Chains A and B, each alone.
Chain A
Amino acid sequence: MMMTQGPWMLALSASPKWLESLVERLFAYLPAWLTSSLAPTEVADFIVWPLIQIGVMLVVVLTAVAYLTLAERKVSAWIQVRVGPNRTGPLGLLQPAADGIKLLIKEDVIPFKADKTVFTLAPIISMVCAFIVLAVLPYGPHYASITNINIGLLFILSVSSVGVLGIILGGWASNSKYPLLGALRSSAQMVSYEAAIGLTIVSALIFTRTFSMQGIVEAQRSLGIWFVLFLFPSFIVFLISVVAETNRAPFDLAEAESELVGGFHTEYSGFRFSIFFIAEYANMVVVSAIGATLYLGGWYVPGMDWVAARLPEAYREAALTLMGVTAFAIKCGAILYLFIWMRWTFPRYRYDQLMELGWKWLMPAALANIALTATIFIVGKELGLVRSAGGVLQMDWQGKLFFTLAGLLSMFPILALLNAINRNSKSFNLRAQRTTIPVSTRKVKLSPGVKAA
């Protein structure tokens, strides 16, 4: 491996030379009290460079979120044999801007009986929580991530839990019945699915050995493999849970428009509504980024180091960054496409069915997966297929093959467990559905009809 192993150097402190010299030159004009407390390199590293990164990231991600709404509309149109937005700009590319302007200039209604403070605060909580998480995502190597804290994954989980608060408060503060029902639904839903996500991530941690998002990517890079091969059941549970976590169809009960009109945002209009909307899509980006990082190697693609090693020294870092960011974007895009695809294919779950799916199926599956993955790991370690060196795993191709096969085979015990649960559950029982209802397309009896006497 060409990268130095060990603790990943903070992207934060990796400001380029030109920036440091620029700050040094600017320092000459600053007051003495400022220059005495901070060295120019520190200012460059901890203030100027992060601000540049945050600015770039916000612009890029906000644009991505805006175009995600367009992508959703376009993909849904293709699925539904429609054309989709194509009037605003070429191929409808200005549609997100048009939507934004429309929502901005709409009247901002606060219901008379609403709790005004909380009503105003709720969308802000939702959006802030969705955007704060963006700081720890590993968009790429080197400069392409804002920060790399060693509890990155825990940070994401905890902040996104606070995001639920925005929805609950928004529903509550509206002082209206549909939003209240929507808020109740979503609070129960997001809390229970967060548990499933947390548990399914635990099994991934057995291989990553770290909570740091960059560290997770590095772990896969040092092995030259994506963890989805080792953790296939965990990946499936993760994908299902995050769809529920982001309140998207088929789990969009909190805003089920055919039942609860608009759900928690029924009373919201104009820009406050659009903030909720942006938060939802930003959350989608975040969870797809987590999925890409944990299971699909983040910005790492096998072979990128080989390509970079063949480039001149000066371009190596930039090329690696560019390849990494592109790969990361493609992986996120693939997961996002899957979300969109699911949304426009499946009908909506009922509230109780959703809870049953979460607690009766995904939770046991995640728990069983932890036990299985841990067992597999220990067996692999005892067989000498994997070594732990300095907090990083090392394994040969035999080890990779073993863990891949074991990961795929561990589907069967999990499916057996789910089958046992299904057989013993009273409601929403797949077996009962299949047996009482014949499944062929012609299930109704055909009668020649009765003549009147």
Chain B
Amino acid sequence: MNAIPLVTHHTETLFDSEQMVLSMGPQHPSTHGVLRVILKLDGERVVDLDCDIGYLHRGAEKIFENRLYPMIAPYFDRLDYIAAVSNGLLYVETVEKAMGLEVPPRAQYLRVILTELNRLSSHLLWLATHALDIGGFTVFLYAFREREEILKIFENFFGARLTCHAFRIGGMTYDAYPEFEAQVRAFCDLFPKRLEEYETLLNENRIWLGRTVGIGIISAEDAISLGLTGAPLRGSGVDYDVRKTDPYECYADLEFDIPIGENGDTFDRYLVRMEEMRQSRRIIMQALDRLPDGPVMGKVPKVIRVPAGEVYHSIEGPKGELGLYLVSDGGTKPYRLRMRPASFVNLGALRKMAVGSLVSDVVAVIGSLDIVLGEIDR
């Protein structure tokens, strides 16, 4: 086996008598968790940087190998805890794909609604922390106000606010509660106004433009070769969204557009995500209109055994393409379950984006990548 080191420690070579090495993190207000960025600084200019990850490593992929298939699902909520619903969806869909299970249409629509709500809450958290990193404290609390509305819906639906979990292999554990539709609609009616509020504060703010325009530029070629997905890829002008290229659930029936940036800078990534929120709302409204009646659980064997073989499945998570590679030996436990975390791959572009800029820009770029360390470290 060729062991590919996930982290290359440049620390020894980074030391220099004239340049300063600054260890940013793991305890730093704006590394979004426990990311450690080792910066080599010439004054305030970043000469080189390296990311040190693994502070949140819980050995999730090894744990999966020792659990029965239904037992694995809750672990996925703890990977990207900001987008627990998307992660849960990824897992159940992968197993369904491997077993060839049919999911009832109502469950499909409910899944889409909940996943898109989760995308909204994830993007709102991104907006909040991104603005906070750049110093816009008020946007932080405004975004949290709307996120709270979503979390209330989640609490009613899942019984949890963060580690939401209701997707089962073959459908959903339970149907929506009676007021679900009304509550989601109320939120969707409210949301565009609130989005405009954020944009009033940021879009034409000269300081915001100065801090984001032309910062952390990555070209489309680089973005593709680094494997970026999600807003960092679309911000560079690449039209790629798994919901369109490889539709899962009922996305093929729904109408929505994919926002594409031009310059691949922090500002374009910001714009792409803001527009994605509008499109997510559009998807939710459509799915609510078309929400069919019927059961939410399909026919699933009592004991879940995945036929021997390999399956790769990917969905469009809020942070990019979430992939799951399932190797089964035909038993009740997976032989290997390997995740392609969007945050991890996207973080790989940090060096390309941030070297040559200032310390403040590193913070802005980390914010624009929208990483979650739970997903990176697993």
Contacts and interface: CB of A to CB of B under 8 A. Distances in A.
Are A and B a genuine interacting pair, yes or no?
yes
Interface of A: 76, 79-82, 177-178, 181, 185, 249-250, 252-253, 256-261, 344-353, 428, 430, 433, 436-437, 439, 441-452
Interface string B239-273: 11101111000000000111111110001100110
Nearest to A441: B199
Contacts, number: 137
A444 B244 contact: no
Interface in B228-247: 239-241, 243-246
A347 B267 CA distance: 14
Contacts of B22: 177-178, 181
A80 B138 contact: yes
Contact of B213 (A82, A257, A433, A446): A433
6 contacts: A76-B138, A81-B141, A258-B133, A348-B207, A439-B204, A445-B260
B213 A352 contact: no
Nearest to B207: A347
A344 B260 CA distance: 31
B56 interface: no
B135 to A, nearest CB: 3
Q: Which of A350, A444, A449, A450 is the most central at the interface, judged by chain B CB atoms within 10 Å of its CB? A: A444
Interface of B: 20, 22, 28-30, 44, 131-138, 141-142, 145, 196, 199, 201-211, 213, 239-241, 243-246, 256-263, 267-268, 271-272, 275, 358-361, 363
Nearest to A177: B22
Contacts of A439: 203-204
Contact of B258 (A81, A249, A443, A448): A448
A320 B317 CA distance: 68
Given A437-B267, A447-B260, A450-B244, A82 B141 contact: yes
B149 to A, nearest CB: 13
Nearest to B141: A80
Contacts of A437: 209, 213, 267
B40 to A, nearest CB: 12
B110 to A, nearest CB: 23
A258 B30 contact: yes
Contacts of A258: 29-30, 132-135, 363
A450 B259 contact: no
A260 B133 CA distance: 11
A443 B271 contact: yes
A344 B258 CA distance: 33
Nearest to B279: A446
Contacts of A346: 135-136, 205, 207
A430 B245 contact: no
B262 A445 contact: yes
Contacts of B206: 430, 433
A344 B138 contact: yes
A177 B28 CA distance: 13
A401 to B, nearest CB: 34
A81 B138 CA distance: 9
A80 B145 CA distance: 9
A82 to B, nearest CB: 6
Contact of A441 (B142, B196, B258): B196
Contact of A348 (B134, B196, B267): B134
Nearest to A445: B260
B257 A448 contact: yes
A203 to B, nearest CB: 25
B207 A349 contact: yes
B138 A444 contact: no
Nearest to A443: B271
Nearest to A252: B135
Given A258-B363, A259-B30, A350 B211 contact: yes
B205 A347 contact: yes
B245 A450 contact: yes
Contacts of B259: 444-447
A427 to B, nearest CB: 9
A261 B207 contact: no
B193 to A, nearest CB: 13
Contacts of A441: 196, 199, 203
Among the interface residues A181, A442, A449, which one has the most CB atoms of the partner chain B within 10 A?
A449
A449 B204 CA distance: 28
Contacts of A348: 134-136, 207, 211, 360
Contacts of A449: 239, 241, 243-245, 256-258
Contact of B257 (A443, A447, A452): A447
A161 B62 CA distance: 60
A231 B133 CA distance: 37
Contacts of A79: 138
Contact of A259 (B136, B271, B359): B359
A439 B211 CA distance: 16
Contacts of A452: 245-246
Contacts of B358: 350-352
Given A181-B22, A256-B360, A350-B210, 6 more contacts: A76-B138, A259-B30, A345-B138, A348-B360, A450-B239, A451-B244
B275 A347 contact: no
B112 to A, nearest CB: 15
A428 B209 CA distance: 9
B208 A347 contact: yes
A81 B246 CA distance: 41
A353 B141 CA distance: 26
B6 to A, nearest CB: 26
Contacts of A451: 244-245
Instruction: Kindly list the 3 A-B residue pairs having the minimum CB-CB distance in the complex, ordered from nearest.
Output: A348-B135, A449-B244, A446-B257
Nearest to B276: A444
Nearest to A343: B137
Contacts of A350: 210-211, 358, 360-361
B260 A446 contact: yes
